Structure 1
């Protein structure tokens, strides 16, 4: 009986470890879209001999920040981002969530990965193909979204399908390309570009910040928490710990892949490639001929497919939480049809519309993540800290967003924004948000919300922060 009990315990532990690993691999692949494939290569190309300090900065905001966003989003009592977002106020939190899920879903990110994967993978192999649109893109988008539908139609299987099958395939193809280039090509030894000469770490931090993956951390956290709760981590404390572990697995894989891609960048610096996609395609063809383009294309398609799968799974679950009378399948198909339409309409116009929204949303998300992490350590007490810091970040970022519309009427905002601390880096919200955080924290202390929490740290796994 003891042996049997021991075997069951071991089997249960192995099952839980596998669930966390698969969830972590799925999370990695969902994060790793087309932009994540390109940015590190360009960082390596431009940073040159300063690549390692630049990478340290990039990993801080491009990996650590999204991982912390997942941990923050999963810290609520129900494990969803809704309760966390509403800590800044019910109406502002709801607006923030809809902005996040619409821009990372059917209005921009999902149609973008379809169009970009066509441009990277299919257009170079088809003579006369127009990467900007046309019948070729329409056919490809239809096939792409059909595959996404098949992957997402059973939400309980999404994490297993992505983490158990698609991610290993993506990692194997990535390893073939990265290892080949790193072994066969020596570093070019190019001097760093001007922006990487004096402050490579801070420049890397900014490059990682502009991936805006912390928003995706909030979005993907919904899938991972739900999956892990369905695989044995039923309590709030166990699901929070499992989600944190899965996010760390994803972070490790992201860091390793980013480093490998940056090493490719250091080896093709000076070869005249216009962007990271051209560099990866070029070196793949250098070693494998036409098969190299097929290899790079397969990587691009898998990266975009897994990202679209994760985004649509999360957005469908999110929208159904507000509109439960609409069936899962109807909600999914509706989003796919909208994404299909946008992917064939030209993404420049969509980008011009979405960029101002991102400039407004992302600073609020960052302040929310930071405050939530503090609230995990000092649980259930913060109130004004959430609200004041987020509101101030939103107020300042509104002017950055207005300038990002590129309308002539708002052109005069740029000198004012640049005059603010970090304004020239398009981060004018940072210092005001920190000051607002301190003020909100002081108010919470003055109103007695922290007295017991500071004396008795959180050991119960209750990471909610909704106390008034």
Structure 2
């Protein structure tokens, strides 16, 4: 094992960090959502893929680039130009939602449902989930509690094993194709607005939120390797991020193709986990379930380590009275509890929160890349975010459980939302965000030029 206090030289460091970043990113959703998209799209898979890659590769890459550019240590740093209170609240919402209330317990339950439950034949599944999730989170806690070894654990061991297994699946699928993706009929009417349907499906991977969550952890890992200069950290993080998402994009294309090809033998499944089981069993028979269990557990375990680590780092940085280990314990125990007693109910509430957060995240990333250090940053951030939050709140209400979204209040909100531009493709926040940016810029130029504060 290399001494992490001695900077690695040559191109090796980029691949080590890229492997770490990929391992943290690529979890259960990254396997099952693109496969499900391929099934729904059928012969329209190529256009759907372009939309999916925009949301799940390009946008997360921009998130990593803005983290490296600003030399941020966490999500909170990115929101600071809009105000410290906003930055703190935003960090809490993102970390709690993508952490113990949704994504972290999800990696345990999905890996159990896809990898372990089929081996049990449906017997004692609740008890089995309890035991499995306890072991799963114990292992994740063990590695997350050793921050200085996360590069070696995830980047040099777990992720290469996962990639070997995934490459094996792709090779078998190409040697024994289930169908022709260009000839298979997907979901009815999927050909209408295919690109934007693919784009919105890319939301489900949570990759852009993960980009902000894991970006800080990766920057800290680069520093652990011995790099302290801002220029070095930015260069290594950026180039490693590009390598990561080139690989991620290629894998997504392969998975979407697998989903589309599977229509030659299988019907469209309700979700991608079922499709993945069908594909593996077709290619490998019943023993393939053991292969699938290893594949998905590795994918989910590396993501769980990253989510637990980033949650503990961000909360310890903001609420330092509790130690990193204390916050890590809180996140681990909460995730274990949610995975066993309330995930389905919490998902109904977490999804609306994610739909609220995503537009804000996209706007923060774009602002961070363009005006983070600009003299007008404060005004531009506040004005743009204000007019982004309004349609995002409307989307939040419309996505709430039926008790609220189906009420008279919910229906009234849905009616208002339906009159906004791009409602039909689910992107009602775009025009208000642009208007907010322009108004803020004009206000800044008119007011501060008069008193000589701009060039």
Which 5+ residue runs of structure 1 have no aligned equivalent? Answer: 1-11, 456-468
Q: CA deviation at 1:352?
A: 1.6
Of 15-24 and 135-144, deviating more is 15-24
TM-score by length of 2: 0.90
Matches within 5 A, 1:64-213: 64-129=58-123, 134-185=126-177, 186-188=179-181, 189-213=183-207
Partner of 2:371: 375
Matches within 5 A, 1:13-412: 15=9, 17-129=11-123, 134-185=126-177, 186-188=179-181, 189-269=183-263, 271-274=266-269, 275-375=271-371, 379=374, 381-406=376-401, 407=404, 408=407, 409-412=409-412
Q: CA deviation at 1:398?
A: 1.1
Of 67-76 and 165-174, deviating more is 67-76
Q: Secondary structure at the match of 1:427?
A: coil
Q: CA deviation at 1:212?
A: 3.3
Provide the rounded CA distance (Å) in 2 between the counterparts of 1:217 and 1:211.
Answer: 11
Of 17-26 and 63-72, deviating more is 17-26
Provide the rounded CA distance (Å) in 2 between the counterparts of 1:445 and 1:172.
Answer: 55
Q: CA deviation at 1:195?
A: 4.2
Q: Secondary structure at the match of 2:336?
A: helix
TM-score by length of 1: 0.88
Provide the rounded CA distance (Å) in 2 between the counterparts of 1:126 and 1:273.
Answer: 24
Q: 1:141 to 1:431 in 2, by over 3 A?
A: same
Q: CA deviation at 1:379?
A: 4.5
Q: CA deviation at 1:166?
A: 0.7
Which 5+ residue runs of structure 2 have no aligned equivalent? Answer: 1-5
Say whether the 8 Å CA contact 2:311–2:327 is kept in structure 1. no
Provide the rounded CA distance (Å) in 1 between the counterparts of 2:220 and 2:241.
Answer: 14
Say whether the 8 Å CA contact 1:82–1:93 is kept in structure 2. yes
Q: Secondary structure at the match of 1:344?
A: helix
Provide the rounded CA distance (Å) in 1 between the counterparts of 2:188 and 2:81.
Answer: 42
Q: CA deviation at 1:192?
A: 4.6
Provide the rounded CA distance (Å) in 1 between the counterparts of 2:393 and 2:103.
Answer: 21
What is the root-mean-square deviation of aligned Cα atoms in Å? 2.3
Of 163-172 and 47-56, deviating more is 47-56
Q: CA deviation at 1:388?
A: 1.0
Q: 1:332 to 1:18 in 2, by over 3 A?
A: same
Say whether the 8 Å CA contact 1:53–1:201 is kept in structure 2. yes
Partner of 1:9: none
Partner of 1:438: 438
